[in-house]
Chain A
Amino acid sequence: MKTNYRILDLIRRDRAPLESHLIDGLVDGRVSRRDFVRHGSLLGLSLPLLGRIGMAAGFGAAPSLARAQGAPGATIRVACYAPAGAIDPVTNADGGGYLMVQQVGEFLCIDGPDLVLRPVLAESWKPNDKGTVWTFKLRKGVKFHSGGEMRADDVVATFDRLADPAGSSNALSVFKGVLQKGATKKIDDYTVEFHLDAPNGNFPYMVSSDNYNAIILPASYKGDYEKSFDGTGPFKRENYTPKVGASFVRNEDYWGEKALPDRTEFTFFADIQPQILGLQGGQVDIINQLSGLTSIGLLNDPNVGIISLKATTNRQVHMRCDSDPFKDPRVRRALALSIDRDKVVAGLLKGRASMGNDSPFAPVYPSSDTSVPQRRRDIAQAKQLMEAAGAGKGFKVTLTAMSFQEIPAYAQLIQNWVKEIGIELDLNILDEGAYYGDAVFGKSPWLDSVMGITGYGHRGVPNVFLAAPLKSDGTWNSAHFKNEKYDMLVDSYIAALDLEAQKATAGKIQELLLEETPVLFTYFADYLTGTAKGVTGVQPSAMGQLFLEKASKA
């Protein structure tokens, strides 16, 4: 297809410089169409507009998640992990808890399976020139299940509640250094401004489904969520029994397209095995979250469909940079070179993962610089590095890891591979609670161990992974990595609004982390959902949310 400059010029006329620059990047071939759509959605360009630009630039229309619609009226039965405690959108930190809230509540925008932001309760958004103020236009005519209309006051109250240091907000760590209580301002009933502590080019992700606590609640919300289960979503709570399950029914007053299923039923489980047996035994239709290792039996089952989303779920192997034996970066690099990443992806993750290059920049992020060479296993070079660092004779060290999904098996693989370069690992596998301990320095094997493996869930942008576990003052910096240059690069990455500027900084960060290697990122696991044969229209998110409004059963 040919480029239609006349239409492009017409579109450019109304666009901000940042948006025009992105359009230029697409036309010149510096930005791929996939990255153009993702970054365009971040800047608040609507999907139809992105589609028009794509067509004019000689590409096809923007990718769409639309698919054939199934029959209405089904009851969709889901197996999921039990919420860890009381359901409260402000405090919930576990998958089971925020899955429940997300069934009835909605976000300003959602981070789709393709990492493209889509508007939900916000119709559009845009940053100021510096990226310090983001303005969100809210959708009109949205009603809470309790009756009132959703307006700017509710959005302001929601984010003030989440950013309140005196509250018990689980999102406080997301908003630290980004958004203060009182910095969300109502402009009119349908316009809200977020005044940030510092420029932030990825801010819309922090008010999207990526921040699972950011469900919009009425301004009057005072806690005790289980009594109301209030929200604006396509389903309303029918019944909720702690530890047992929940059911939801279609919200006939929903602002958008009405949900197809009449009801959804969630059954809570404490473990994955009974969920798998439940799906195979026909007692549930969906398992919300599977992992590669536990779902081996299902991957080849003709009666089960696997929805596989490219995600950034990772297992960070940290090495303490401030103490022996990992003080010398050459030793850390040597260890990284002994890992057989192909085998990790193909064997441990059954191919349901992307390879990592020892930085949080997963291949799926549009800002990742894919021209940085991939680190691969090289025992000869690893041995040379060990010699050069004066560790040629090897050493013995303890690898502390949490007992979660495939992590213990991963620890054993690492133990075998590093033997070849003379490193003897003692494994110390701890229960999750014991591993995290008090989660503060000095009282946590996670943050204090010389070497450890920690599981991190998916994030739509790498900001969290770049800051807390790696910056000098990071609260999750278990590697005790302190590097001024890195800190500056991350600040500049976070502030950048322009995709090409983000990419350029990302490349520098990736190079620096390959050189220093405080943390191994050897794979990014896909997010897997299992469905029974004949179940269609199920839309999971790699964060663990499950959108069932288009679900149906044959």
Chain B
Amino acid sequence: MSLSLITLFLLSIMVFLGGQVLPGNVGRAILGPFADQRAVDALNHTLGVDRPLLAQYWGWISNFVQGDMGTSYIFRSPVAPFVIDALGNSMKLAAVAFVLVVPIGILGGVVAALNLNRPLDRIISLGGLSVTVLPEFVTGIILILIFGVWLRWLPIAAAWPKGAGFFTQLYYLILPSLPLFLVLFGYIARMARSGMIEALDSDYTRTAVLKGLPWRTVIWRHVLRNALLPTVTVIATQTGYLIGGLVVIETLFRYQGIGSLIFTAARGKDFPMLEAGILTIGIVYAVATLMADFLYSVLNPRIRLGAEQ
């Protein structure tokens, strides 16, 4: 826990210093290259970004630890509602993508391993790999053209109307989650497949089979639990990407996620928004890793028991 806090603190300093390296200044970013320098100076003064760096950072961090994320420079209103909305949206999209890709990816890997070197294995392995290497903006545009423009089955933009219910939101999220499914499916299926192959080849599986256990029990009790351990780690590390790394998908599907929020903030040198956005992703990442560790110990009694001993 304390290690996570130190990480977040260091992250905040890195973001702040990184922001200073970017060319231009906030006033210039807002008023544009053609504005008079006097107007730029006046705006920088109003926003307080002409103060010494340390004063700016101290002002921000002392408010942040008290729960105040500050005021956005470019939107000139509090940061918190932007970050909370964007995080909520990102988590919804990530959740739909997760629900689609995790079971299907694992199932694909298991089926491939059980049909090792047979046509079904080849189809899943090669097909998964092929769609994984396609960038999501390519698959995204193809999917929009097929389902949004030609067939008109699904809405092109992921932004649902105000006040939409659960199912309407889900309907709007199907299309943007499909490219994510395609990117992650091959990856998760391959991890599950190799874990399965290793587990199937192990001594304990042979023992289980030889002692006469039914095949289904062997797979569920002995193979799958061991085979999924590396897959869980992979899934956890993808959380950061799914929550904060979807700038391209969010732009393509006009979705207000935290990835595009951070991107806009970085371009506009909107430091309070940038810090809040990145630290939020940092927290999500830390929580995801913690959950993965927990799940790991549930699946792997050696870790749990080792810790108890």
**Which of A2-10, A365-373, A438-446, A502-510 lies at the interface?**
A438-446
> In the complex, which of the residues B43, B77, B157 has the most CB atoms of chain A within 10 Å of its own CB atom?
B157
With contact pairs A173-B35, A440-B37 given, residues A93 and B30 touching in the complex (Cβ less than 8 Å): yes
With contact pairs A86-B76, A173-B34, A436-B24 given, residues A244 and B256 touching in the complex (Cβ less than 8 Å): yes
With contact pairs A86-B74, A267-B254, A282-B152 given, residues A170 and B31 touching in the complex (Cβ less than 8 Å): yes
Q: Once the chains bind, are B42 and A91 in contact (CB under 8 Å)?
A: no
Q: Once the chains bind, are B24 and A277 in contact (CB under 8 Å)?
A: no
- CB 8 Å contact bits of B73-93 with A (1 = contact, 0 = none): 111110000100000000000
With contact pairs A168-B46, A434-B23 given, residues A94 and B152 touching in the complex (Cβ less than 8 Å): no
> In the complex, which of the residues B39, B73, B77 has the most CB atoms of chain A within 10 Å of its own CB atom?
B39
Question: Quick check: is B149 within 8 A (CB to CB) of the other chain?
Answer: yes
> In the complex, which of the residues B23, B73, B253 has the most CB atoms of chain A within 10 Å of its own CB atom?
B23
Residue in B22, B23, B27, B74 whose CB lies within 8 Å of A168: B27
Question: Quick check: is A148 within 8 A (CB to CB) of the other chain?
Answer: no
With contact pairs A244-B256, A281-B144 given, residues A172 and B156 touching in the complex (Cβ less than 8 Å): no
Q: Once the chains bind, are A169 and B39 in contact (CB under 8 Å)?
A: yes
Question: Quick check: is A146 within 8 A (CB to CB) of the other chain?
Answer: no
With contact pairs A170-B39, A273-B252 given, residues A278 and B157 touching in the complex (Cβ less than 8 Å): yes
Q: Once the chains bind, are B28 and A277 in contact (CB under 8 Å)?
A: no
Chain B residue at minimum C-beta to C-beta distance from A443: B23
Question: Quick check: is A270 within 8 A (CB to CB) of the other chain?
Answer: yes
With contact pairs A86-B76, A277-B144, A439-B24 given, residues A170 and B38 touching in the complex (Cβ less than 8 Å): no
Complex interface: chain A residues within 8 A of B30 (CB): 84-85, 91, 93
> In the complex, which of the residues A224, A245, A267, A433 has the most CB atoms of chain B within 10 Å of its own CB atom?
A433
The CA of A268 and the CA of B264, in the complex, are separated in Å by 13
Question: Quick check: is B174 within 8 A (CB to CB) of the other chain?
Answer: no
With contact pairs A281-B156, A283-B157 given, residues A243 and B256 touching in the complex (Cβ less than 8 Å): yes
With contact pairs A274-B253, A277-B145, A277-B149 given, residues A437 and B43 touching in the complex (Cβ less than 8 Å): no
Q: Once the chains bind, are A173 and B36 in contact (CB under 8 Å)?
A: yes
Chain A residue at minimum C-beta to C-beta distance from B41: A168
Q: Once the chains bind, are B34 and A244 in contact (CB under 8 Å)?
A: no
Q: Once the chains bind, are B156 and A278 in contact (CB under 8 Å)?
A: yes
With contact pairs A93-B34, A283-B155, A283-B156 given, residues A271 and B251 touching in the complex (Cβ less than 8 Å): yes
Complex interface: chain A residues within 8 A of B251 (CB): 270-271, 274
Question: Quick check: is B268 within 8 A (CB to CB) of the other chain?
Answer: yes
Question: Quick check: is B260 within 8 A (CB to CB) of the other chain?
Answer: yes
Which of chain A's residues 143-189 have a Cβ closer than 8 Å to chain B? 165-170, 172-173, 176
Complex interface: chain B residues within 8 A of A168 (CB): 27, 31, 39-40, 42-43, 46
Chain A residue at minimum C-beta to C-beta distance from B43: A168
The CA of A85 and the CA of B76, in the complex, are separated in Å by 8
Nearest-Cβ distance from residue A163 to partner chain B, whole angstroms: 10
Q: Once the chains bind, are B152 and A274 in contact (CB under 8 Å)?
A: no
With contact pairs A270-B260, A281-B152, A476-B34 given, residues A172 and B144 touching in the complex (Cβ less than 8 Å): no
Chain B residue at minimum C-beta to C-beta distance from A283: B156
- Count of residues in A whose CB is under 8 Å from the partner chain: 48
Nearest-Cβ distance from residue A302 to partner chain B, whole angstroms: 15
Nearest-Cβ distance from residue B20 to partner chain A, whole angstroms: 13
Question: Quick check: is A20 within 8 A (CB to CB) of the other chain?
Answer: no
- CB 8 Å contact bits of A217-259 with B (1 = contact, 0 = none): 0000000101000000000000000111100000000000000
- CB 8 Å contact bits of A197-233 with B (1 = contact, 0 = none): 0000000000000000000000000001010000000
Q: Once the chains bind, are B33 and A446 in contact (CB under 8 Å)?
A: yes
Nearest-Cβ distance from residue B47 to partner chain A, whole angstroms: 9
- CB 8 Å contact bits of A302-331 with B (1 = contact, 0 = none): 000000000000000000000000000000
Nearest-Cβ distance from residue A240 to partner chain B, whole angstroms: 12
Nearest-Cβ distance from residue A450 to partner chain B, whole angstroms: 18
Nearest-Cβ distance from residue B266 to partner chain A, whole angstroms: 9
Q: Once the chains bind, are A433 and B159 in contact (CB under 8 Å)?
A: no
Question: Quick check: is B148 within 8 A (CB to CB) of the other chain?
Answer: yes
Question: Quick check: is A269 within 8 A (CB to CB) of the other chain?
Answer: yes
Which of chain B's residues 253-285 have a Cβ closer than 8 Å to chain A? 253-254, 256, 260-261, 264, 267-268, 270
- B residues bordering A, Cβ < 8 Å? 22-25, 27-40, 42-43, 46, 73-77, 82, 141, 144-145, 148-149, 152, 155-157, 159, 251-254, 256, 260-261, 264, 267-268, 270
- 21 A-B pairs with CB atoms under 8 Å apart are A84-B30, A85-B75, A169-B39, A170-B31, A172-B35, A173-B34, A226-B77, A274-B144, A274-B156, A274-B157, A277-B148, A277-B156, A281-B144, A281-B149, A282-B152, A434-B23, A439-B28, A439-B40, A440-B37, A443-B23, A475-B36
| Contacts A165-B38, A475-B37 supplied; 20 other A-B pairs, CB < 8 Å | A84-B74, A84-B268, A85-B30, A85-B73, A91-B30, A91-B43, A93-B32, A93-B35, A166-B38, A169-B36, A242-B75, A243-B256, A267-B159, A270-B251, A274-B251, A277-B144, A433-B267, A436-B33, A438-B28, A443-B23
Q: Report, nearest first, the 3 A-B pairs whose CB atoms are least far apart.
A: A93-B32, A85-B74, A168-B43
